[in-house]
Amino acid sequence: MSDTADLYQQARDVAARAYAPYSGFRVGAVVIADDGRIFTGCNVENAAYGSGICAEGNAISNAAAAGVRKVDTVIIACLDGGECYPCGNCRQIMREFSVDTVVVQDGRGSLRTHDFAAILPHSFGPDSLQ
């Protein structure tokens, strides 16, 4: 099994633990930090809908809590059909940690690899404040 396929399977495994009783849309994310460490996250919803947290944000928060400040790659899986491109808010969270590459599954379960700049062009980031 290739690295990417193995990490995608890890994203599916964590998606299976998503807490998504309201949408029924389970998402998992795997983060590869610049030092090679791997972190995972799933979406965690809330009865106050706006308080739910996405899988990608949770995975990056887990990495940040372990000291990571640069993320190389995020791999995203969803178990309940369709594509799982990251939402706008998660793209902005990725921007903060200088993500280079995002791997998403398409509607048929195949993987697509994107340069981050292609999915969040002309972005606002830490350097924009200097």
C-beta closer to ligand THU: residue 36 or 107: 107
Is 45 labeled as catalytic in the residue annotation?
Answer: no
CB of 123 to ligand THU, least distance (A): 16
Q: What is the 3-state secondary structure (H, E, C) of the chain?
A: CCHHHHHHHHHHHHHCCCECCCCCCCEEEEEEECCCCEEEEECECCCCHHHCECHHHHHHHHHHHCCCCCEEEEEEEECCCCCCCCCHHHHHHHHHCCCCEEEEECCCCCEEEEEHHHHCCCCCCHHHHC
Please state the closest distance from residue 55 (CB atom) to ligand THU, in A: 4
Residue ranges in contact with ligand THU by CB under 6 A: 20, 23, 25, 27, 43, 45, 52, 54-56, 86-87, 90
Catalytic-role residue among 45, 56, 83, 96: 56
